[in-house]
Amino acid sequence: MSDPRLHGFECIPEMLRKFGEHVEWPRFTFELDPAHTLIMKLLRKGKHPGAASLEIKEGGLWLGYVTVAGEFQPTHNASRMPRPVKLLLWNLLQAIRLDPETAFAAHGIRTGTCCACGRTLTNAESVELGIGPICRERIFS
Ligand SMILES: [Zn+2]
């Protein structure tokens, strides 16, 4: 049995799959800090169809997969990141595992952008919810 802390993330590929019913290239984007942006993408083909791929946008640093069964399989890149960034990544993943809707909302409230479509949240309701209404419906309904 691998590390139980790396299990239980099946909501990530599941939400990407749902979002992918509406957009061609589903991805979620989370700013970890001003220099590190986490991107989660749905893998449609290849060795792990339906899994999520995690990477750091800056430099295209690939961090690993989240399988359909919800196991995070980190690459060596993930362990080599600076410790503060690793902590931010880990805290975000835990928050998503516990309550994805709240984690997405918290990100949107903090950054002012929708982590699904990347648009700036403009109307009062979206700003308060931390996610655009269309993306929210597509991912969480
Ligand atoms: Zn959106």
pLDDT, tens digit (0-9, with 9 covering 90-100), for 52-107: 999 999 999 999 999 999 999 999 999 899 999 999 999 999 999 999 999 999 99
Bridge partners of 10? Answer: none
- How far is the centre of ligand 1, averaged over its atoms, from the C-alpha of 37 (Å)? 17
Listed by start position, the domains of the chain span 4-99
pLDDT band, very low/low/confident/very high, at 2 (cuts 50, 70, 90)? confident
Q: Whose CA is closest to 136, among 102, 97, 112?
A: 102
DSSP character at residue 45: S
pTM value is 0.94
CA–centroid distance, residue 3 to ligand 1 (Å): 33
* Per-residue pLDDT tens over the stretch 18-55: 999 999 999 999 999 999 999 999 999 998 999 999 99
Q: In what order do the strands lie in the sheet with 36-42?
A: 27-33, 36-42, 52-56, 61-66, 72-74
CA–CA separation, 67 and 50 (whole Å): 7
Cα 2 to ligand 1 centroid, rounded to whole Å: 35
